[in-house]
Amino acid sequence: MTLVPRRLPLWRKAGVIFIHVPKNAGTSVNEAVYGRFMGHVPARLVSRLAPRAFASLPSFSLLRDPVDRCRSAYRFARAGRGRGDGAIAGMASAGLYRRPEFESFERFVAEWLVRQDLASADPVFRTQASYVCDSNGVVLVDHLGRVESIHETEEWVSECLRRPVRFLRTNTTLRGSSPKRIDAHTRSMVESLYEADLRLITSRFG
């Protein structure tokens, strides 16, 4: 993967490695730490392709409630893109997501998402664990924060970089339809699909 060696000088210059899990406020973090979008590279690949840097530099990532993240991914897929401060992020093959199954979040989960191999799906639908853990489920980054309490990660990064760091809200998904409430059956299906993420969040944050 060419992305790792291309990002290596930027990680070294910043003094920290951020593992960007899609739909977890990562665009905001990248802007604050690197001044640019950095892509979605799993920690296991950084560890394998840049072992010295990964061992010597502090690393971190953010987790998010799996149901909230799934709903955000659904909105993003429907819109085909999101927007941030001066940047547009897009879905690969956005036309694939303009089909009847995407007319509602419930249909998306029950008729499309359950049929996908999440390991090979578009990055926004892959598990969070696949970005921050190795193949045995061991967390590879030094700090795991939560989008829901992102100020704690701001403090951790500020201490690492020895300067104040604030994450602004960027890459918000363009307006789309999504239910304000999720029925119990749909929620249960999402939690089952992302069971690895729920286990990870529970083990780290209780």
pLDDT of residue 81: 53
pLDDT of residue 93: 61
pLDDT of 135 above 70: yes
Q: How does the average pLDDT of the chain come out, rounded?
A: 89
pTM above 0.75, yes or no: yes
Where does the pLDDT of residue 19 fall: very low under 50, low under 70, confident under 90, or very high at 90 and above? very high
Where does the pLDDT of residue 97 fall: very low under 50, low under 70, confident under 90, or very high at 90 and above? confident
pLDDT of residue 91: 55
Instruction: Tell me the C-alpha to C-alpha distance, in Å, between residue 32 and each of 35, 68, 78, 164.
Output: 6, 23, 27, 10
- For 53-82, the pLDDT digits (tens) are 999 999 999 999 999 999 999 999 988 754
What proportion of the chain, given as a percentage, has pLDDT over 90?
80
pLDDT of residue 206: 82
- Domain with residues 3-205, CATH architecture: 3-Layer(aba) Sandwich (3.40)
| Sequence ranges of the domains in the chain | 3-205
pLDDT of residue 82: 46
- For 35-46, the pLDDT digits (tens) are 999 999 999 999
pLDDT of 49 above 60: yes
pLDDT of residue 168: 83
- For 136-175, the pLDDT digits (tens) are 999 999 999 999 999 999 999 999 999 999 998 655 544 4
